[in-house]
Amino acid sequence: MDRQPTKRILRPDNALHTGFWKTYRDILIELASNAWLIHQLIKRDMSSYRQSLLGIYWTIVIPFLSIFLILSLQSSNLFLIGNLRHPYALFAVTGLMFWQLFSTGVISATESLINARELVLKINISRKAVVIASLGKAAIGFSIQFALLVLLFLFYKIPPTPYILLIPFMIIPICLLTLSIGLVLSLLNCIIRDIGMGLSFLITVFLFLTPVLYVKPTGGWLSAISHYNPVYYLIELPRELILTGRTSNGLGYAVSIGVTLVLFVETLRFFHLSENRIAEKI
């Protein structure tokens, strides 16, 4: 039992009496000592696929369906993808791979604390570990879509650029953004259930507002929105690198990473300050 510190003092608004840097030290210690727990929780989440035929491969169904849908919309001139130098499937799967890491991550993180209600209510379990572990599903979905992408490259006989090897690093910013949003929403969802209820709708709307399945238009309101959308940059730059090896908007990417880092640091503190109030409300 090395999870809990040997001496512990609980008092109201404990975190207010803790210094700024000590708060982050506490968070780091907590996360480090819960690595094994996170591993076990991810394993548990994965087990729910055991009783399904397609199992984790369900994650490929969605990209296939959306590609099919959009291609048929385009052929009837209902939907404009934009000018592409690559086959649409490659373009879409690369984008969707990152998008779904974000969207499924945010959705499962938001539900994570409520789904673990029994635990949070009865056992003093690290709630941060619960939220982080919920991203495991999204990460595994990502790796399966990555395998699909490799197959598509082979199919079209187009070689990806060497930048594809940088994928493990390229997913870090989008993971941090996902976790930041997930941390806040998971807590708020314990208090106000509307958040979980409205989320999948909002995420769908957001998908259409983010140029993932289409090329960013050169003008108009959609372009203006994308201009301030960090998710767009965090997806677009890796995609450009993998497909063409060139980047068209390095500044936007850098700013998005900066925004993500600030958000991550702040939301982590928010979660740490507020999580003790949650167990009784859940």
Partner 1 sequence: MPDDFAIQLDHVSKKYCTSLRRSMLYSLQDITRNMMGRPSLCESLRRDEFWSLQDISLQIKKGEMAGVIGPNGSGKTTLLKLLDGIFWPDTGEVRTEGAISALISAGAGFHPILTGRENIYLNGAILGLSKGEMEKRFDQIVDFSGLNRFLDMPVKYYSTGMSIRLGLAIAMHCEPDILLVDEVLSVGDQVFRNQCIKRISQLNSQGTTVVFVSHNLDLIQMLCQKTYLLNEGRLEFCGETSAALQHYSLLMAQMRECHHPASLSGRCDLTQTFSNDVDVLDIRVINEKGEPAHEITEREDITVVYEILFKRAVNEPRFSASIGTQTTDNIIWHTNLQRNLQFGTVGPGHYELTVTFKSPALVPGIYKVVLGIYESSTGENMVNYRLKYAQFKVAGTVPLRGIVACPSEWRLAKK
Give Cβ neighbours of residue 64 (< 8 Å, ≥ 6 apart). none
Give Cβ neighbours of residue 251 (< 8 Å, ≥ 6 apart). none
Q: Are 204 and 66 in contact (CB under 8 A)?
A: no
Scanning 153-161, 187-195, 209-217, 249-257 for contacts with partner 1 by CB under 8 A, the matching segment is: 187-195
Scanning 33-41, 152-160, 212-220, 254-262 for contacts with partner 1 by CB under 8 A, the matching segment is: 33-41
16 binds partner 1 (CB under 8 A): yes
Shortest Å, Cβ 197 to partner 1: 14
32 binds partner 1 (CB under 8 A): no
Residue (243 or 268) nearer to partner 1, CB: 268
96: nearest Cα among 254, 223, 207, 257: 207
Choice from 56, 60, 81, 119 touching partner 1 (CB under 8 A): 119
11 binds partner 1 (CB under 8 A): yes
223: nearest Cα among 189, 191, 249: 249
Q: Are 175 and 101 in contact (CB under 8 A)?
A: yes
Alpha-carbon span 105 to 182, nearest angstrom: 7
Choice from 151, 192, 224, 254 touching partner 1 (CB under 8 A): 192
Residue (247 or 274) nearer to partner 1, CB: 274
250: nearest Cα among 231, 236, 269: 236
Alpha-carbon span 49 to 165, nearest angstrom: 29
224 binds partner 1 (CB under 8 A): no
Shortest Å, Cβ 31 to partner 1: 14
114 binds partner 1 (CB under 8 A): no
Shortest Å, Cβ 47 to partner 1: 5
DSSP state string for 16-30:
GGS-HHHHHHHHHHH
Residue (39 or 227) nearer to partner 1, CB: 39
51 binds partner 1 (CB under 8 A): yes
Task: Find the binding residues for partner 1 in span 246-275 (CB under 8 A).
Answer: 270, 273-274
Residue (7 or 246) nearer to partner 1, CB: 7
Alpha-carbon span 91 to 85, nearest angstrom: 9
Three-class secondary structure of residue 41 per DSSP: helix
- Binding residues vs partner 1 (CB under 8 A): 1-4, 6-16, 36-37, 39-41, 43-44, 47-48, 50-51, 116, 118-125, 187, 191-192, 270, 273-274, 276-281
